Structure 1
Amino acid sequence: MTITMYGIPNCDTIKKARVWLEGHKVGYAFHDYRAQGLDAKRLDGWVEKVGWEILLNKASTTFRALADDEKKDLTPKKAKALMLQHPTMIKRPVLDLGERLLVGFKPDIYAQELTGR
């Protein structure tokens, strides 16, 4: 299984997830969507799998800094446009396991999904 972790390298949650993966000898590729970007097709696929409500981090500094009119009355289309424009609004990390995604870092979920424990 090819695993890709999406996020930004200086994020504390990304750092914790990377330490966990490396400590459990789980191989992965890292995609920095601030530096490498994130295409609309990939985001659409993520939204289909888990929903925009899971992906959009309303607690992020970037989201909170938006004007009130940008934050209200969110629709899937509006949320996707915001996440493409500001990828740091996407909850981190997004771990792409191919058929499924893990969004956020929870050691117990990682253990269950990645090591079968």
Structure 2
Amino acid sequence: MIVRQHALQIAAVVRRDMEGIRRVSVVRTDGRPFFDDPGDTSTGEDSEAVAAAVAATVSYARRAGTALATGAIDTLTIRGREATVVAQPLDDLHVLVVTCGPDVNLVLLGRVLARITATVGPGA
């Protein structure tokens, strides 16, 4: 079970271990915001809009994964010209969302997120 203190720790670790992080959020799979750290220069929508968009995207990806027999969704990555968004389920109810600059090393970010989810995810 994820509590607010976990979300605060996650945001601190991601920002400490990676440069270029713009926003760290934890959203609920029902579309409600749980935690949002927009950083010093907030860009993008408010936390409610972010949560709704991420929940819908994760739901769609899970349906696509089922249809295509990919197994459980580990990570979703949306690359744009201005930013990249990485969404990674933490448990059945929460999704970690990291928005970063387009030049961030996604392999390194993936390793940081894997380490985090191993300590707070359902198997932890």
Question: What is the TM-score of this pair, normalised by structure 2?
Answer: 0.31
Return the index of the structure with the highest Cα Rg. Answer: 1
Query: Which structure has greater strand proportion?
Result: 2
Which is bigger in relative contact order (C-alpha 8 A, separation at least 6)? Answer: 1
Question: What is the TM-score of this pair, normalised by structure 1?
Answer: 0.33
